[in-house]
Amino acid sequence: MPLHLIKRDKDESVFDLYAQYAATHSIPKYKMGDEPNDPHLVKDLILDELLLDGNAKQNLATFCQTDVDEEIHQLMDKCLDKNMIDKDEYPQTAEIENRCVHILADLWHSPESQTTIGCSTTGSSEAAMLGGLALKWRWRQRREKEGKPTGKPNIITGPVQICWHKFARYFDVELREIPMEHDRLLMTPEEVIKRIDENTIGVVPTFGVTFTLEYEDVKAVSDALDKYEKETGLDIPIHVDAASGGFIAPFLQPDIEWDFRLPRVKSINASGHKYGLSPLGVGWVVWREVSDLPEDLIFRVNYLGGDMPTFALNFSRPGGQIIAQYYNLVRNSKEGYRRIQQACLDHGIYIAQEVEKLGLFELLYDGKSALPGAAWMLKKGVEPGFTLYDLSDKMRAHGWQIASYSLPANCQDMVIQRVLIRHGFSHDMAKLFISDLKRCIEYFKENPVHKGMAETEAGGYHH
Ligand SMILES: *Cc1c(COP(=O)(O)O)cnc(C)c1O
């Protein structure tokens, strides 16, 4: 056939990507197209579109890991076919998950770290559901044995992450959340004790509070519960939500007793994809001892002739994140984690100090004692010509994403700005951040948008 008669319009791939039909028109958005497209082109068009997302390195609003080793990219690629639930097909992936559980149990001082039980999850949210369910089951079993009613379980928390609101609603447990007060932003033993009754399934301190980055005092709460048990006979267990702190305190604040060193702490959750340094999609929940996870909640799978207990809300789930978690634990070891987290903590302290020097802000968290980061508010009475929301918006124009939000009940009138520092951040980036912040404040000096708003700011919580 003469060359010019060959129908070329189907063979778009000889053209430059951006000269092809799909790039000069629109790719399907809400309905599937009829004909396939060049894979290379489609990938590039999607990547172009994704450039409109925020730049993860400058995202100081999230707790989640956004910067991973090249080796993790390679491992994730090789693990694309691994399904966590198929413990028969991928027994070695299951073995690696198991190693992570025991490493974490040891890191968190379980007295039975080699034999205790735990599992990976999609994140701390799923881990919290599992931890909460175990508390509910144990409480119900005890109540049934005593012949008492089991209709009205409650759980006591400080100002918590939304996953505990979900747990309470989805699993029919009354949430007794201790509200913040202006002079007390965290859970205290007195506030916990006030809320306990015989239907309390457990107390959940947060070790690294979402709003302020500080640790709730697990030891003080545990001591108060010991005393309470002596007086009343009621034995109330603790689950620690250590989504972030579980991978910070063991390296930076090893003397804080928040974990299984306290016998009352029966389970702990943490996010592998936060300060665990693994890519998005992995969390952990670990029980102090096997007996702390009620047998009824465990499903058993046979693999390799063995007996593999599983406890999860999901079925199929990617295995790569778990492999990446093991890589991180082995590659960094304790000293590697310590250096990484200490660097983050130092950058947070630096930012806090520089922000304080500006004279307009009052530090709510100086970055020193808990998670890497800082939080501040506008000083009472200052009239800088902007609200913290305006400042966040203006910083966005320089690429920075910083969260500004009002605190939850009873401090909704307090608006704060928070930065989190994660792996992948350097001292020079902290300096660039501060110089951009100064530039934005200067801009508002010349072009004020609000007057005297420091105390009357309003608005919702942005994560
Ligand atoms: C992030 C966070 C969660 C939720 O964790 P995911 O891993 O995002 O599901 C729960 N609790 C606390 C304290 C958190 O910081």
More confident site: 8 or 275: 275
Average pLDDT over residues 98-110: 97
| Residue 203: both structure tokens together | 């107390």
Report the atom number in ligand 1 closest to the C-alpha of 123. Answer: 7
Euclidean distance between CA atoms 164 and 265, whole angstroms: 17
* pLDDT at residue 6 is higher than 60: no
pLDDT band at 442; cut points 50, 70, 90? very high
pLDDT in tens, 388-430: 999 999 999 999 999 999 999 999 999 999 999 999 999 999 9
* pLDDT at residue 463 is higher than 50: no
pLDDT in tens, 321-373: 999 999 999 999 999 999 999 999 999 999 999 999 999 999 999 999 999 99
* pLDDT at residue 119 is higher than 60: yes
- Ligand 1: list residues with CB < 6 Å: 63, 123-125, 161, 163, 206, 208, 210, 241, 243-244, 271, 283
Instruction: State residue 14's pLDDT score.
Output: 87
Bridge partners, residue 157, by sequence: 177, 204
**Ligand 1: centre distance to CA 118 (Å):** 17
* pLDDT at residue 32 is higher than 50: yes
**Ligand 1: centre distance to CA 280 (Å):** 12
Report the atom number in ligand 1 closest to the C-alpha of 125. Answer: 9
**Ligand 1: centre distance to CA 55 (Å):** 21
Average pLDDT of the chain? 93
* pLDDT at residue 1 is higher than 60: no
Ligand 1 mutation target, pool 122, 124, 241, 282, most atoms within 8 A of CB: 124
**Measuring from atom 14 of ligand 1, which residue has the nearest CA?**
243
* pLDDT at residue 105 is higher than 70: yes
* pLDDT at residue 305 is higher than 90: no
Cis peptide before 314 (omega within 30 of 0): no
Instruction: State residue 368's pLDDT score.
Output: 98
**Ligand 1: centre distance to CA 88 (Å):** 30
Average pLDDT over residues 19-29: 91
Write phi, then psi, for 110 (nearest 5 degrees): -65, 135
Count of Cβ atoms closer than 10 Å to residue 422 Cβ: 27
- Rounded to the nearest 10 degrees, the angle between the axes of helix 427-446 and helix 388-396 is 120
Ligand 1 mutation target, pool 65, 129, 161, 420, most atoms within 8 A of CB: 161
**Ligand 1: centre distance to CA 163 (Å):** 7
Ligand 1 mutation target, pool 204, 244, 271, 282, most atoms within 8 A of CB: 271
* pLDDT at residue 457 is higher than 60: no
**Ligand 1: centre distance to CA 124 (Å):** 5
β pairing state of 373-378 and 415-420 = antiparallel
pLDDT in tens, 230-285: 999 999 999 999 999 999 999 999 999 999 999 999 999 999 999 999 999 999 99
Instruction: State residue 151's pLDDT score.
Output: 96
> Which pTM was predicted?
0.94
Question: By C-alpha distance, which of 328, 359, 284, 246 is closest to 121?
Answer: 284
Instruction: State residue 309's pLDDT score.
Output: 76
Average pLDDT over residues 90-95: 92
* pLDDT at residue 10 is higher than 80: no
**Ligand 1: centre distance to CA 418 (Å):** 16
Report the atom number in ligand 1 closest to the C-alpha of 208. Answer: 13
Number of helices (H) and strands (E) in the chain: give both, helices first: 12, 13
Ligand 1 mutation target, pool 274, 280, 285, most atoms within 8 A of CB: 274
Report the atom number in ligand 1 closest to the C-alpha of 127. Answer: 9
Report the atom number in ligand 1 closest to the C-alpha of 128. Answer: 10
Euclidean distance between CA atoms 366 and 239, whole angstroms: 27
CA 183 from centre of chain: 26
More confident site: 315 or 342: 342
Spatial contact of 319 and 93, defined as CB atoms under 8 Å apart: yes
Question: By C-alpha distance, which of 367, 356, 431 is closest to 400?
Answer: 431
Instruction: State residue 456's pLDDT score.
Output: 47
pLDDT band at 460; cut points 50, 70, 90? very low
What percent of the chain clears pLDDT 70, i.e. is strictly above it?
Answer: 94
pLDDT in tens, 285-299: 999 999 999 999 998
